[in-house]
Amino acid sequence: MLIALVLLVCLGAAGALSVVRHKTYEASALLYVDERHNSSQGFDLALQAGELLSHHYIEMATSREVLNAACADGDVAALVPNCSADVLTGHIRAGTVNGTSMISVTADARSPQAAAAIANAVANGLVAQDAQQVDQLLKPTRDYLDSELQRLDKAIADARQALAAAPPNSPQAAAGLAYLNQLQGEYDADYARRQDLAVEQFRLSGNLSVVQAAVPPTRPSDPDPLRYLAAGLVAGLVLGLLVALMVEYFDDRLLEPEQLGRAVGTDLVVRIPKAPPHVSSPAPFALAHANLLAGHRPLQTLLVTGATAGDPADAVAWELGAAATEAGQTVAVIPTSASNGVPHPEPDLTVIAAPSPETSSRVVRLASGGGFAIVVATAGSTRFRDAQRTAELLRRAGAQVVAAVLVSKNAGHGSNGHRSNGRRSRLGRG
Together in a domain, 306 and 404: yes
Number of CB atoms found within 10 A of residue 173's CB = 16
Q: For residue 183, tell me if it sits in a domain.
A: yes
Q: Are residues 59 and 85 in the same domain?
A: yes
CA–chain centroid gap for 177, Å, is 85
Q: Which of the four pLDDT bands, split at 50, 70 and 90, describes residue 113? A: very high
In a domain, 217, yes or no: no
* Bond preceding residue 345 cis, omega within 30 of 0: yes
Q: What is the mean pLDDT of the chain?
A: 84
Each residue of 232-249: pLDDT tens digit? 899 999 998 998 888 877
Q: What average pLDDT does range 380-391 have in this prediction? A: 92
Q: Are strands 92-96 and 102-109 parallel, antiparallel or unpaired?
A: antiparallel
The DSSP letter of residue 428 is E
Structural domain range at position 150: 26-212
- The confidence score (pLDDT) of residue 334 equals 87
Tell me whether residue 191 is in a domain.
yes
Beta bridge partners, 373, equal 303, 401
Domain assignment present for residue 361? The answer is yes
Torsion of CA 75, 76, 82, 88, to 10 degrees: 180
Residues 281 and 425 in one domain: yes
Confidence of residue 390 (pLDDT cuts 50, 70, 90): very high
Q: Please give the Cα distance from 212 to 119 (Å, whole number).
A: 11
**In this structure, are 384 and 411 located in the same domain?**
yes
Same structural domain for residues 53 and 95? yes
Residue 115 lies in a domain: yes
Both 15 and 138 in one domain: the answer is no
Residue 426's pLDDT is what?
A: 39
| Band (344; pLDDT cuts 50, 70, 90) | low
pLDDT tens column, 42-63: 555 555 666 788 888 999 999 9
Position 182 pLDDT exceeds 80: yes
pLDDT score recorded for residue 16: 87
C-alpha–C-alpha distance, residues 114 and 116, integer Å: 5
> Are 270 and 169 found together in one domain?
no
Do 305 and 372 fall within a single domain?
Answer: yes
What global pTM score does this model have?
A: 0.55
Residue 218 lies in a domain: no
Q: Provide mean pLDDT across the span 78-101.
A: 88
pLDDT tens profile 290-336: 888 777 778 788 889 998 988 988 989 898 888 888 888 888 888 88
**What's the pLDDT at 4?**
87
Q: pLDDT over 90 for what percent of the chain?
A: 39
**Total domains in the fold of the chain:** 3
* 237 and 266 in a common domain: no
Name the band, by pLDDT with cuts 50, 70 and 90, for residue 18.
Answer: confident
- Residue 343 phi, psi (nearest 5): -80, 160
Q: Tell me: do 30 and 147 sit in the same domain.
A: yes
